[in-house]
Amino acid sequence: MLAIVCPGQGSQTPGFLAEWLEVEGVADHLAALSQITERDLTAHGTVSDEETIKDTAVAQPLIVAAGLVTARALFGNNLPEGVILAGHSVGEITASALAGALDEADAMNFVKVRANAMAEAAAATPTGMAAVLGGDPDEVLTALESHGLTPANANGGGQIVAAGTLEQLAALGENPPAKARVIPLKVAGAFHTAHMQPAVGTLSELAATISPKDPATTLLSNFDGQPVTNGNANLDSLVAQVSRPVRWDLCMKSLAEAGVSGVLELAPAGTLVGLARRGLKGVKTLAVKSPADLEAAQAFIAEHTSN
C-alpha cells in the first residue's frame, strides 16, 4: 500500500522549483496558481532568496503549489487508486486538494488567506519554532512547559517541535533537555499555538464561502491521525488546525496500522521521508525532489500499489 505525503512550512529551499519548469505543463500550471494567490510563485520557486521564501505569506502558497504541480507532473489528473494521503501542517491543504476534498482554486485561495492571516498574527509578537531532537519525550514536554512553550508538532521519530516567543525559544536552546538538541526552524511564527488564534476567525469566514466535497480517497487528519470522510468536517479541521498542535506521530501510526509499504513525498520533499525512516521502520520511502526522480517514482508507485 502506498502513502503520498505533502510537506509543510520550512521544507522550501531557494531555487527548488527551477528544474521543474522544464517539465511540460508545469510553467503554465504554476502561473495559473500564481494568479489565484496573487504571488509570483514562479519567481519564488526559482530566484527568490531564502529570506523571501521564509516569509509566511510567500512560503505557504509556494509549498502547496509545489505539491500540486509536482503531483500533476507525476500522476496527471488521475491519482493512483487505493492510496492514503496525508499532509503536514500547510501540506494538509495540498493533500485535501489531491483527495478531491477541495478543488484546486479553493485550496489555493484558502492557503493565500491562511498565509496572510498567520503572517499578520505572527507579526503581533516575535515568535518562532524549534525542533527538539532526541531526549526522553516526557522530559522534553516538561522542559517546554517550564519555558512556557507549546509542543506544536508531535512528529514522531524522536522529534517534537516547540513554539513560542523568541525569548522562550532562546532560553530552551541555552538549557535543552537531557540528550536532546534544539534546532531553530525556518519559519516566521509560532504556528499551531494560541498565537495563531486570530487567523482562525478569518479562515472561518472564508470557509463559509467554500463548498467542499468528501475525500475520494483516504485522507488523514493532523488532529488525530484518523481518516476524514466528510468534506465539511475536513474543512472545519483545516480551519482549526492553525491554532492546535499537528499530530504527525498519529498520522504515521495510522499509516503503520494500515500496512503501508511505501511512503512517497511530493516536493519540496525530504522532511517527511526522514521522519518515516525513523518512525516507520521497514517502510520504503522516496522523496520526489526534482524531475530526475519521476522515473523512479513511477516504479515506486507501481511497486506499492500492485496487489
Let me know if 192 is a catalytic residue. Answer: yes
Helix axes 104-124, 56-75, angle to 10 degrees: 160
Whether the CB-CB separation of 1 and 258 falls below 8 Å is answered with: yes
Main-chain dihedrals φ then ψ at residue 227, nearest 5 degrees:
-65, 140
The domain covering 2-123+193-305 belongs, at the CATH homologous superfamily level, to Malonyl-Coenzyme A Acyl Carrier Protein, domain 2 (3.40.366.10)
| β-bridge partners, 132 | 160, 182
Domain map of the chain by residue range?
A: 2-123+193-305, 124-184
All residue ranges of the chain with pLDDT < 50 are none
* Residue 268 pLDDT: 97
Name the nearest CA neighbour of 250 among 217, 228, 268.
228
* Residue 77 pLDDT: 86
pTM here is 0.94
Catalytic residue (choose from 11, 34, 48, 89): 89
* Residue 307 pLDDT: 54
Catalytic residue (choose from 192, 221, 237, 254): 192
* Residue 10 pLDDT: 85
Whether the CB-CB separation of 86 and 5 falls below 8 Å is answered with: yes
Let me know if 304 is a catalytic residue. Answer: no
Name the nearest CA neighbour of 245 among 54, 88, 136.
88
Question: Hey, what CATH topology would domain 124-184 get?
Answer: Alpha-Beta Plaits (3.30.70)
